[in-house]
Amino acid sequence: MSGEGLTVRDLRVTFDGFKAVDGVDLDIRPGDLRFLIGPNGAGKTTLVDAVTGLVKATGSVTFGGEELLGKPVHKIARLGIGRTFQTATVFEELTVLQNLDIAAGSGRGPLTLLRRRKGVPESVTKALETTGLTDLRDRPAGVLAHGQKQWLEIGMLLVQDVKLLLLDEPVAGMSHDEREATGALLQRVSEDHTVVVIEHDMDFMRSFARSVSVLHAGKMLSEGTVAEVQADAKVQEVYLGRASEPEPAAVPVPEEA
């Protein structure tokens, strides 16, 4: 399995007359590791919100042949689309293992739910290994370091058996080493999943992106490989600041409102 592709056509999201997403088309091939970049307010997070059912949108979003718009959040999740948020949300009072076990269990019947967990599901063991959290599995998630929480969230998506991962700024606030580790993790994950990453960090994007989409003011500005996008004059103008050699890491970017 190499994930499923996502097709977005003429997606529009409006908040009180403000067009947060204004007619976006997007094609993500199965197995892609796509970076979604753009200035603050470009509509990146809103796009993900629309795809996952959190905000109302018009247009069309299909995944594996199914129309997603109009479906409730939990049904979209069951189709195999998982996401993370800008701030890591794990269940702080539960252990790493319990977090992963819950993520693995949305298909469980009542009888399984009413019984105590015996042993560790195979998918959970695998996700613990992939994310490097095996030694911490009995720790409450609340005491994990920031980076580890993000990895746990990615691990939760893996055991959830999603085909498409939508990650909202997974490396924000991480140290350099944590970024490298996260990038390596994303590359491993993308071997058998489709991954979409919203990111501000240009260095991180250059190191790990397989393809890039640039959003600006709710519209798709440019798409292609890292080199193609960086060479695009429109992109340089609105986002990379016209400099031939951008230094985005020097500019701290606040979280999107």
User: Site residues (CB under 8 A) for other proteins?
Assistant: 52, 72-74, 77-78, 82-83, 89-94, 98-99, 101-103, 105-108, 112-117, 131-133, 135-136, 139, 143-145, 147-148, 151, 156, 160, 178, 181-182, 184-185
If the CB atoms of residues 102 and 253 are measured against other proteins, the closer one turns out to be 102
Shortest Å distance, C-beta 148 to other proteins: 7
Cβ(214)–Cβ(183) below 8 Å:
no
Shortest Å distance, C-beta 19 to other proteins: 25
If the CB atoms of residues 56 and 242 are measured against other proteins, the closer one turns out to be 56
Cα dist from 178 to 20, 53, 126, 143, 151, whole Å? 32, 30, 20, 17, 10
Tokens of 116: 């105590």
Shortest Å distance, C-beta 256 to other proteins: 17
Cβ(90)–Cβ(153) below 8 Å:
yes
Q: CA-based angle 232:6:240, to the nearest 5? A: 20
Cβ(236)–Cβ(242) below 8 Å:
yes
**Residues 6+ positions from 9 with CB-CB distance below 8 Å:** 25, 59, 60, 61, 62
If the CB atoms of residues 8 and 104 are measured against other proteins, the closer one turns out to be 104
Tokens of 14: 């409006």
- Helix 146-159 / helix 176-189 crossing angle, nearest 10 deg: 10
If the CB atoms of residues 76 and 212 are measured against other proteins, the closer one turns out to be 76
If the CB atoms of residues 61 and 156 are measured against other proteins, the closer one turns out to be 156
98: closest CA among 108, 90, 86, 88?
A: 90
Shortest Å distance, C-beta 232 to other proteins: 33
Shortest Å distance, C-beta 247 to other proteins: 27
If the CB atoms of residues 113 and 250 are measured against other proteins, the closer one turns out to be 113
Shortest Å distance, C-beta 235 to other proteins: 31
